[in-house]
A = this chain, B = another copy of it.
Amino acid sequence: MAAVAALPPKAAPFDPETVRADFPILERRVHDRPLVYLDNAATTQKPRAVLDAEDRFYRRHNANVHRAIHTLGNEATVAYEQAREAVGRHLGAADGRGVVFLRNATEALNLVAWAWARRRLRPGDEILLTPMEHHSNLVPWQMVARETGARLRFIPVGPDGALEMDALDRDGLLGPRTRVVAFAHCSNVLGTITPAEELCRRARAVGAVSVVDAAQSVPHAPVDVGRLGCDFLAFSGHKTYGPMGVGVLWGRPERLEAMEPLFGGGEMILKVELESATWNEVPWKFEAGTPNVAGAVGLAAACAYVRDLGQDRIAAHEAALTRLALDGLGDCPGVTIHGPGPGSPRGALVAWSADGVHPHDLAQYLDQEGIAIRAGHHCAQPLMRQLGVVATARASFGLYNTAAEVEALVGAVRRAREFFHA
């Protein structure tokens, strides 16, 4: 996924105005101004197709899955397993076998850390990460490293936001001790697109498993697990136009087979005695308890929605917005943009610092104009420290954002500077 790099869309260019009506919340006004929602990296808004899919499930088919003979139970099971297939195919897999439905990307990453790594890592083993990971792809590895005696290593991030891939060999970061290579496909702060295929290949070459945090890539461009060559990939439904409360761990079926379940309970067992139990097949053995069936159905509807619009066209549209924001904000006095400069691949988000205006204050100011951006550490405190800031402001784009909204953002950022006498 090189969101900005290669963009000759096959079909007609994408017109966001035509899709805005699909998102009921976009009619909302905030402080008497139209809502300009630029916090899509935190969570996206939901199209009617997703809300309706969940609603229809509850109004027509709601039942628990897998164990029922009655009609609703059967319909719910079929809907749930079809959602799994749909998500699997959305990730380029042949079917849904590798798709484990969980709560969010965080739970998916923790499952790999706890169920795969904790049982396998030994003192001296290494987990290779990057310093720009979201806490959700950092803290679980810290916890597991502490339990197992494994060591965390980090691929440095250069001033341009790119991973210093030379360091892999130069500093001996990747080698026979490496057991896990885990990294964000797209940084949620810098927007950096990491060389995921290369990292997965290099992980494989040393016998390490690769774990791709795709929370910020799946929403914006086609992601193909086969092409990436990863062992595990995690993303959240709510960041990709789907409902909250559903996330996905995709795992290469052989890996999932070899992995022990983390949670015990209903659905994940085959045979239970008082003192022992045997496990169900993959992927069900990782889904203890009643799943979020409506959530999975909603997520499948979200996948269908973006596919119908055309993922490449959406990516091109978002890339154009990102370029506009980079240019516009870059021209604002006192603004420093973090991450890759123009021309480098970049996800659909821009984070910046503004001299004399703390990001909170800026976000507060923008909110009064109806513009929602995020200010804070973006769950990436170590990266903030490297950038030498406690917080940044971040605008992140979705398929329904428009060039006019980006212009509104840029104008408001300029006015904020005046307001705060910066």
Q: Measuring CB to CB, which residues of chain A are less than 8 angstroms from any residue of chain B?
A: 24-25, 28, 30-31, 35, 37, 39, 42-43, 45-46, 51, 54-55, 58-60, 62-64, 67-73, 102-107, 109-110, 113-114, 131, 134-140, 142-143, 152, 154, 236, 238-239, 243-247, 262-269, 271-277, 288-295, 360, 363-364, 366-367, 371-376, 379, 381-382, 385
Contact = CB atoms under 8 A, between A and B. Distances in A.
A262 B246 CA distance: 19
- Per DSSP, chain A at the interface is mixed
A142 B279 CA distance: 13
A40 to B, nearest CB: 10
Identical chains in the assembly? 2
B63 A43 contact: yes
Q: Which residue, A31, A63, A134, A154, has most C-beta atoms of chain B within 10 A?
A: A63
Contact of A63 (B109, B136, B372, B382): B372
A62 B42 contact: no
Contacts of A275: 142, 152
Nearest to A76: B43
Contact of A59 (B25, B152, B363): B25
Contacts of A55: 51, 55
Nearest to A144: B264
Nearest to A137: B265
Identify the 5 closest CB pairs spanning chains A and B, nearest first.
A106-B289, A139-B264, A245-B292, A136-B265, A245-B245
